[in-house]
Structure 1
Amino acid sequence: MTDQLSQALVGVLEIDGKQQAFEASTFTLRVSEAGGGARADGMGTQVTESFSISGGTLVTSVTVRSGGTTTTTTTTSDDRGTTTTTTTTDANGTSTSIKITKK
């Protein structure tokens, strides 16, 4: 199953160092059940993907929930560099986080 939510954005898009205005772009939030559907015990694998553009900052996020463990990877890119943070939380609520910054 895949659900999509779209929202109009207005701003400037930069590709290979060249800026161009855009008025009608979208970001998509997608939630999907891996393996053909959710399991009856609620322990199926669910993947959520999203991205947003705001004030010159691009944020992308992917969350994977499987068997009581949740892993979220978020990447933020702006004129100061790119930061990627990965956080894993197990069924007991114990979290481990790794942050990488590239300038």
Structure 2
Amino acid sequence: MQPTGGLQLAAPAVRLCFLKELVEEPLLLPPMPERIIIDTDMSIDVDDVGALCLAHALQDRNKAEILAVTHNTGLEQGVGAVSVINHYFGRDDIPIGAYRGPVG
């Protein structure tokens, strides 16, 4: 079925609009993951465990890239917990920084 009347005249203009959009539309590249450094005081509370696990889940989905994790208290067990969580997610290569000093 051929367009008639006004539709017949409008068809080339509509095609030009679509062509213009194809030519002017920039190439959409996949978004880059957010690069993050996590600063934690992981000790007796679970909030930092959840935050670190969430960051790993985001990295699994290419939404984030964990560059490093820092531990900012003098409780050495927290550094071990960070290491265990990173290992669980298969990311032993993530650098871990640790505070060394007095507690309190």
Q: Give the TM-score range, shorter chain.
A: under 0.3
Q: Which has the higher strand share?
A: 1
Q: Could you state the TM-score of these two structures normalised by the residue count of structure 1?
A: 0.24
Q: Which has the higher helix share?
A: 2
Q: Could you state the TM-score of these two structures normalised by the residue count of structure 2?
A: 0.24
| Structure with more relative contact order (C-alpha pairs < 8 Å, separation 6 or more) | 2
